Amino acid sequence: MGLGNPGKEYEASRHNIGFLVVNRLARAHDIPLQERKYKSRWGRGKIEGHPVILAKPRTYMNLSGDAVKLFLAPFSLTANQLIVIHDDLDLPFGRIKIKEKGGNGGHKGIESIMRATGSGDFPRVKVGIGRPPGGMDAADYVLQPFDHAEKQLLGEVIANAQEALELLLRAGLQAAMNLYNRRGT
């Protein structure tokens, strides 16, 4: 489940990096995201030999849990079978960090998912977007598009997040954490 906000005005925003990663995974593994049900846009396929469902909530970020809760039930999935891809203000731009479970770290989308599922026991792939400059409000910062320098590197960042998810599926959570949580970028 890649997190973001629906709508053209948010398409290129920092908050939508989860959507961008899911889009790349879908293209790379020929998984069309054509289904529109359970407040999500999604598709089924295989990555690294594992059956997967790639999804993007069609709710706003702060209501991501509504879509996740609706999505898990019909597929008989539990929260710990979910992998959430999202932006992280506390990581420098481009840094990937994988977390097995835990709190919301101040992320409203993760908070919503935890509230809706009653659990924080789901892996996350966090993609760093850096801190807002000066005294800028974090809420305003995450809704802005990437700046020029970030746009130059964005393709590489999304590719790294894709590789992290593929490694997670191929070799397991611990192997992915060992590699990506030690990297500087």
Question: Rounded to whole angstroms, how far apart are CA atoms 101 and 173?
Answer: 11
Q: Is 128 a member of any domain?
A: yes
Q: Is 2 a member of any domain?
A: no
Distance from first CA to last CA of the chain, Å, rounded?
A: 22
Q: Is 111 a member of any domain?
A: yes
pTM to 2 decimal places: 0.94
What does the pLDDT look like over 58-89, one tens digit per residue? 999 999 999 999 999 999 999 989 999 999 99
Q: Is 50 a member of any domain?
A: yes
Q: Is 175 a member of any domain?
A: yes
Q: Which of 15, 29, 86, 148 is catalytic?
A: 15
What does the pLDDT look like over 85-143, one tens digit per residue? 999 999 999 999 999 999 999 899 999 999 999 999 999 999 999 999 888 999 999 99
* Number of domains making up the chain: 1
DSSP 84-112: EEEEETTS-TT-EEEESS---TT-HHHHH
Q: Is 18 a member of any domain?
A: yes
The residue range of the domain holding 135 is 8-180
Q: Is 185 a member of any domain?
A: no
Domain CATH code at residue 80: 3.40.50.1470
So what's the pLDDT on residue 183? 65
Burial annotation 154-183 (CB, 10 A radius, 16+ → b, else e): beebbebbbebbbbbbeeebeebbebbeee
Q: Which of 6, 8, 45, 17 is nearest to 129 (CA)?
A: 17
Active site residue 15: yes
Pairing of strands 84-88, 124-128: parallel
Q: Is 1 a member of any domain?
A: no
